[in-house]
Structure 1
Amino acid sequence: MAQEGGCFCDKIRISYTGEPGTHVLCHCLDCRKISGSSYGNNIVVPENNFKLLQGTGIGSSQCKPKTISKTADGGNEITSHFCGDCGTTLMRTGPSFPGSVIIKVGVMDDPDWPNKNTPKGELYVGSRLAISAKQSIYPLFFVFVLGTLSP
């Protein structure tokens, strides 16, 4: 069954099928900045299971996602895909997560998605803010380099 989501203005729609590769909380500065929060909440899905449903730029009412790329904390390039109209970051792609699409949990249509899908770990815990509660039930990783988690 497909899980769907979209940006705040709903001009860009996404979906994924199957089980996510993983669900992680991330404390890196990039995730904090693009989420506007103290950490990012991310769904990692195989790129073959991801689909851009609306926002291909085809048709007069469609808004194609804008992108911005930079070098991630792990040293590889990562690209953020966001709505040019409302500014919502929907997903991230690139060599930092080869073969995967990183979907921001907050764009999912099901508001209960995070409660139904417990995170499997936390990334960049060395950058966790003091105000962010430690989730000791999750495996903790200090860095994510070249597609490899380092405890």
Structure 2
Amino acid sequence: MASGSCMCGDIKYEYTGEPAVTALCHCIDCQKWTGGAYTSNVVVPRTNFKVTSGSPKTWDAKGDSGKVNKHFFCGQCGSSLYTELEVMPDVTCVKAGGLDNGAASLGGKVGVEFYTKDRVSYLHEVSGAKQEPQFG
């Protein structure tokens, strides 16, 4: 099991089992969502994920697929928590920065980098990670 929270601690969550994949996403939406160069994600089955405290707020964005990318965040401190994508209805993309106990390191392994076409110029590919110019 892994757990995490927002910065102020109002929202807490956990998931069980191993992630389906660990991923960085360099798309422009993720850059805006984090205020950084990419998002770092632990992708887990939705049935293994649950919010254990608090009620996140949501904001919907339309992805390149034309389908909804639902963003969950803390209404108090604004922390990005996780996303649920209509194109991936069986998984939750947990933002790794909110994970407890150093789990933001993704166990030292990034499985895939998405939207490498939008990767900022000062970053380089992660060795051993699958490189996808877009999603899928």
Normalised-by-shorter TM-score class: over 0.9
Match of 1:127 among 103, 118, 125: 118
Q: Return the alpha-carbon distance in structure 2 between the equivalents of residues 117 and 22 of structure 1.
A: 13
Aligned residues: percent identity? Answer: 34
Normalised by the length of structure 1, the TM-score is 0.85
Q: Return the alpha-carbon distance in structure 2 between the equivalents of residues 31 and 86 of structure 1.
A: 18
Which 4+ stretches in 1 moved above 3 angstroms?
none
Deviation sequence 1:46-87 (CA, Å, 0-9, x none): 0000011001xxxxxxxx211000101333211100000000
- Aligned match of 1:139: 130
- Aligned match of 1:29: 28
Normalised by the length of structure 2, the TM-score is 0.94
2:2 and 2:16 in contact (8 A); partners too = yes
Gap change, CA 1:92 and 1:140, over 3 Å in 2:
same
**How far is the alpha carbon of 1:134 from its aligned partner?**
2.1
Equivalent residues in 2 for 1:83-122, closer than 5 Å = 83-114=74-105, 116-122=107-113
- Give secondary structure in 2 for the equivalent of 1:137: coil
| Alignment coverage as a number of residue pairs | 136
1:74 and 1:143 in contact (8 A); partners too = no
- Aligned match of 1:53: 52
Unaligned runs of 5+ in 2: none
2:115 and 2:134 in contact (8 A); partners too = yes
**How far is the alpha carbon of 1:115 from its aligned partner?**
5.1
Q: Return the alpha-carbon distance in structure 1 between the equivalents of residues 128 and 103 of structure 2.
A: 20
Letter in 1 for 2:53: Q
Unaligned runs of 5+ in 1: 56-63
**How far is the alpha carbon of 1:117 from its aligned partner?**
4.5
Moved more, 105-114 or 77-86: 105-114
